[in-house]
Amino acid sequence: MVKKLMHQHNTKSISVKLHASLGQYKPIDADSLTFDMKISEEMTVLELLVLLSIPNEIIKMISLNDKLVKSTATLSDGDRLILFSTIAGG
């Protein structure tokens, strides 16, 4: 599913990277699987997933500024978020 980025009226901007099969959820106006987003105050990763129409159950790992976190983590200005779905290798 693709959708347009929601540009909101605030100053928080984060970098989002969608890994592998999550590419299907890339916003329609993003040039690549790594893109910048503006978000509202106090948004969690879980709320961002809703915004991107990504089902929570397919997210297996979340990296926020190089630390693995839960979906309840709160996003801050300048954060670098990477979302991983199933990898199934190894």
Partner 1 sequence: MGSGYWEKVLRVDLSTATVTEEVVPVDVWKKYLGGGGYGAKVLYDEVDEQTGALEEGNKLIFAPGPLQAAKQTGAAKFTVAAKSPITGIYGESAAGAGWGMALKSSGFDALIIQGAAAQPSYLVINDNSIEIRDAKKYWGLDAFDSSDQILADAGIDKASICTIGQAGENKVAIACIVVDKHSFAGRCGLGAVMGSKNLKAVLVKGSKKVPVHDQDKLTEINRDIGKTVHENTKDWLRIHGTPFVEIGCDSDGDTPTRNWQQAHWPEGAEKLGCPNYTDELKAKPHSCNSCVIGCHRDIEITEPAEYAMKGPGPEYESLGMLGNNCLMDDVKALSFMNDLCNRYGVDCISMGSFLGFTMDCLEKGYMSPDDIGGRNLQWGDKDNMIALIHDLCNVKPGFGELFVNGIVPAATKLGDKALELAPHVKGLDLPAHDPRAFFSLALNYATGSVGPHHERGNPQVATAGFLLPEAGVDSVVDRFEMENSEFVAAKYQDYGTLTQSVCHCKFMLFGGYSMSVMLESLNAITGWGWSMEDMLQAAERIFTLQRLVNVKYGVDRKDDTLPKVIFEPSVEGSRAGKCPHDFEAALDRYYDLRGWDENGIPKSEKITELGIS
By CB under 8 A, is residue 1 in contact with partner 1?
no
- Region binding partner 1 by CB under 8 A among candidate stretches 6-14, 39-47, 48-56, 66-74: 66-74
Q: Whole-angstrom Cα distance, residue 30 to residue 28?
A: 6
Binding mask 17-56 for partner 1 (x = CB under 8 A): x-xxxxxx--------------------------------
13 φ, ψ to 5°?
-130, 135
What is the nearest approach in angstroms of partner 1 to the Cβ of residue 36? 17
CB 59 within 8 A of CB 71: yes
**Contact status: 9 vs partner 1 (CB under 8 A):** no
Task: Report the distance separating Cα 5 and Cα 57, nearest Å.
Answer: 22
Q: φ, ψ for residue 58 (rounded to 5)?
A: -90, -5
Nearest CB to partner 1, comparing residues 8 and 35:
35
